[in-house]
Structure 1
Amino acid sequence: MNTPTDDASTSAALAGDAPDTTRPEPAADSHLVAAALAEAPSITRKDLNWALVLCFLAWTFAVYDFVLFGNLLPEMAADLGWSSAQSTGINTAVTAGTALVAFGIGPIVDRFGRRKGIVLAVAGAALASGLTAVAGLIAGVVGGLGVIVLVMVRSMAGLGYAEQAINATYLNELFAQTHTDARRAKRRGFIYSLVQSGWPVGSVLAAASVYVLFPIGSWELPFVVAMFPAVFILLAAKKLKETPQFVLRREADRLLKDGHEAEAFELARESGIDLAEQSTPLAAAFKGASLRPTLIISIAFMLSWFGVLCFVMLGTSYLTAPDGKDVPFTNALGILVVSNGTAFLGYLFHGWLGDRIGRRNTIALGWILSGLSFLALVLAPQGSFGLIIALYSSGLFFLIGPFAALLFFNGESFPAHTRATGGSIINASGQLGALIAGIGVTAAIASGSGWGSSVMAWGCVPILLSGLVILGARNVDPRAVRTD
């Protein structure tokens, strides 16, 4: 692995130096430039702390809804008369729809703002939760047409899944305003890992709600209850401030559109905004300096989600299968409880480590160790429960934990113009990975391959590859602060 400063080509820009926007221009109107600069909000530590709390809550309840559907799918299938094949097919269609929605949110956030993106994601997740109960009732009455409605409604949950990419973009830009020296900058990753730990917290809340609410109101009630926390979050989100980077880029684009080219580039020089790229954010994500992180990180993220599918989403199935680890169901649930605890600690550890050796190196190290842990799990003899729980917990610690570093690394890898779009493309690639891996595991098992060989081919190997692929991305000095 290279050192955190191995990519000298970007070190100056990432250290906060203004992009080279010098060009022979007429003298700029200082009043227009000053007025544009005045539009940028001032971000205080109090603003950042409020944003951290809101982003944690937004992500926690987005995960609650996201995980809830998988937890309750067997009960929905039993209630609505779906076969195992129908249930799997519906889940596959929902995964594809989620990926499309998560992919589309990035350009919207880059166009309309990070704050509005958070509001949209929270509202979308809440709406998806409430409408799931309604769509399920429709599916029970009209059959196939209702199933299509249900898939469309659950695809809206992609807005909730996209919350993590929007949070990473938003907080990365806020940190650039408040953590401007090396001492504070090196704590950003650990602080962000606390926000990202909303995944295991949301997962636990989802499991608890099923345990408490399902006996009272069947599978519909947990989805209805999921709507109510969003009301508080949406009201509290009114206090969030837009990031100065987005506002300044928007003002510079407005000056260009109004014909004030000299003023636009003077504003870019004074604020450190790169105005060279004028393509749409979606097109710009596949050009210039954004192309490399878009492709490399997306491929690595997609491969890692092969492992998430095998060992998180299908973890219980693999552990309990006679040709898997043949663990009793109650013991498998115990392993999952422990794994949620290790995932939480994994977020904190990898967030802390990324602040010291660089986030790219941290991600690579974590995923390689995860792949080796799960490979040892597959090869471990059945019946050795202590060894199985140790290897499974280790695998999840090193598989899930690096996502805290990766999502913050996304924000460090893109300029403001493509930051949300690049992050959304990478985020959506995870659902694409889950979709491909789901098809692969299903086909392998249907052809007679056992669970062990199936998760080795579609889980262990892709995780190892993801750790190697991420090394192709540019490394970023964790002490550097990107201002553009």
Structure 2
Amino acid sequence: MNVSDSVASRPPDIDHVWPRNARPSDELLLQGPPTISPRVIRVTSVVCFLAWVFSVYDFVLFGTLLPKIADEFGWSASYATAIATWVTAGTFIVSLAVGPLLDRYGRKPALIITTAGAALASGLTAGVVGALSLIGVRSLSGLGYSEEVVNGVYLNEMYGKEAKRGFRYSLVQSGWPVGALLASAFAAVLLPLVSWRWVFLIATFPAIAIVILGRRLFESPSFVALRRSRELRAEGREAEAATLAELYDLDVSRDDESGLRQLFEPDLRRHTVCLSGAWLLNWMGIQVFSVLGTTILTDGKGVSFSNALVILILANGAGFLGYLFHGWLGDRIGRRTTIMIGWTVGGLAMSAMLFGPDSAGFVITMYAIGLFFLLGPYAAMVFYMGESFPARVRGIGSNTAHVMGPLGAIAGSGVLTAVMAAGLPVTTAAFVAGALGIFISGVLMLGARNPEQ
């Protein structure tokens, strides 16, 4: 069939017309982007939410159970920390595969593979026999870590131009605190009864269920059209490919180039560099104030360990509300602006907490405000990445920035340790390694693209 000869008609209803596992015909594609029913949107959102919850569950469970793993193998605290650093490096390497996977094979397959990766990482961790096997197995958690990139790209295309799409996505992104809470709760309940190996093994079953549910989802219409336009170009049917790309608002101007190379072409170079730098610097702050929060509170602000745990629980509750707030705000003032405001305020709040009074009321208040504006903007950020890159590099572009997270975590720990080793107090070290990075990450977003202009 000659695509360009077809006449567009009423867009089809994806729920009833578009096939899940087979490719739509050219006639169906040329009717334009389909109408996606509210039921399909709800089901897709729930599956993506659960996929993120159990990917986070696996990701966080390793950190939670690392002391138990170290006890069984007889590792010192410093050796266990070194293992965790190597795991983070392996996570980074594995995460690199997700961007090309998204752009070449599709959003739905990427969702299934990343969630299956989280399940595989949990299951295989139950059988590790030492440091090398643990590093190798836990590196697979890079797939689960990158599941949020898949959600951001996939749901951005499924939600389309829906007015409240940012707030809807914030509900999906809130799977992070839910997954972290489940990991802590399951560990607390199961460890008195079974070994840590069983805790990991049990974690595989919910993720496998999500993989099965994911097979029932629809592929993103934008990716279906992108894939077909590529096939038409490969067949030498350039005019027909251009017609289809225009109908679905796809930029395929340099689709024959390497995806990574495209990210550093003049039209995307500054955006890629600024976005990647923002992720790296912000994750330095997350490492310092979220992952190592108890250390900062106890050694830097003189808070008791038990009180530090209470503060972390309350503050992370504020972080959950931050997801919803920033998702809502992004729909109204723009996601890039929301991220800039959130992270600059978060950096200032954490600085005030570090250098302000040591009173419990002040520390709790400023720490909660800091996490609210540190974690919350990620509800806008992950969705923003999906809309800030053209469809041809939407996956690899989002993932290139996203994989800077593990590197930022390593850098945050390294800078914190180096500044403290130089004899400076914990508060100063936390400012240099964390709060300053959070603030600068917000400023760097000024150089990123504004897709709403």
Aligned-partner Cα distance in 2 for 1:300–1:122: 26
Aligned-partner Cα distance in 2 for 1:37–1:164: 33
Q: What letter is aligned with 1:393? A: A
Aligned-partner Cα distance in 1 for 2:208–2:320: 26
For 1:353, the equivalent position in structure 2 comes to 329
By how many angstroms is 1:202 displaced?
Answer: 0.7
Per-residue Cα deviation, 1:203-262 (whole angstroms, up to 9, x for no partner): 111111111011111322221111010122111112210011111111111011112222
By how many angstroms is 1:89 displaced?
Answer: 0.9
For 2:413, the equivalent position in structure 1 comes to 438
For 1:376, the equivalent position in structure 2 comes to 352
Residue of structure 2 aligned with 1:36, choices 20, 26, 36? 26
Evaluate the alpha carbon distance shift between residue 29 and residue 463 of structure 1 in structure 2; reply closer, same or farther with a 3 A threshold: closer
By how many angstroms is 1:443 displaced?
Answer: 2.3
Residue of structure 1 aligned with 2:260, choices 282, 302, 324? 282
Aligned-partner Cα distance in 2 for 1:69–1:51: 28
| Aligned structure 1 segments of 4 or more residues deviating by more than 3 angstroms | 31-35, 39-42
Residue of structure 1 aligned with 2:312, choices 301, 311, 336? 336
Q: What letter is aligned with 1:439? A: G
- Structure 1 unaligned runs (5+)? 1-26, 140-146
Normalising by structure 1, we get a TM-score of 0.86
Q: Secondary structure at the match of 2:75?
A: coil
Per-residue Cα deviation, 1:356-398 (whole angstroms, up to 9, x for no partner): 111111111111111111111111233x111111111111000
For 1:367, the equivalent position in structure 2 comes to 343
Q: What letter is aligned with 2:51? A: A
Aligned-partner Cα distance in 2 for 1:133–1:320: 33
Residue of structure 1 aligned with 2:294, choices 312, 316, 326? 316
Residue of structure 2 aligned with 1:292, choices 270, 273, 276? 270
Kept in 2: contact 1:41–1:242 (CA 8 A)? no
Evaluate the alpha carbon distance shift between residue 389 and residue 37 of structure 1 in structure 2; reply closer, same or farther with a 3 A threshold: farther
Number of aligned residue pairs: give it: 433
Residue of structure 2 aligned with 1:68, choices 41, 61, 69? 61
What is the correspondence of 1:412-431 to structure 2 with a 5 Å cutoff?
A: 412-431=387-406
Aligned-partner Cα distance in 1 for 2:218–2:406: 30
Aligned-partner Cα distance in 2 for 1:445–1:79: 30
Aligned CA RMSD, in angstroms, stands at: 1.9
By how many angstroms is 1:84 displaced?
Answer: 2.0
For 2:102, the equivalent position in structure 1 comes to 109
For 1:15, the equivalent position in structure 2 comes to none
Kept in 1: contact 2:3–2:26 (CA 8 A)? no
For 1:305, the equivalent position in structure 2 comes to 283
Aligned-partner Cα distance in 2 for 1:90–1:443: 19
Residue of structure 2 aligned with 1:470, choices 431, 436, 445? 445
Per-residue Cα deviation, 1:392-413 (whole angstroms, up to 9, x for no partner): 1111000000000011110110
By how many angstroms is 1:436 displaced?
Answer: 1.1
Q: Does 1:163 align with 2:153?
A: no
Aligned-partner Cα distance in 1 for 2:406–2:233: 37
By how many angstroms is 1:32 displaced?
Answer: 12
For 2:19, the equivalent position in structure 1 comes to none
Higher relative contact order (CA 8 A, sep 6+): 1
Residue of structure 2 aligned with 1:271, choices 248, 252, 258? 248
Kept in 1: contact 2:117–2:143 (CA 8 A)? yes
Kept in 2: contact 1:107–1:282 (CA 8 A)? no
Evaluate the alpha carbon distance shift between residue 369 and residue 381 of structure 1 in structure 2; reply closer, same or farther with a 3 A threshold: same
The percentage of aligned residue pairs carrying the same residue is 46
Aligned-partner Cα distance in 2 for 1:65–1:262: 47
What is the correspondence of 1:202-217 to structure 2 with a 5 Å cutoff?
A: 202-217=179-194
Evaluate the alpha carbon distance shift between residue 128 and residue 28 of structure 1 in structure 2; reply closer, same or farther with a 3 A threshold: closer
By how many angstroms is 1:29 displaced?
Answer: 5.4
Residue of structure 1 aligned with 2:78, choices 68, 79, 85? 85
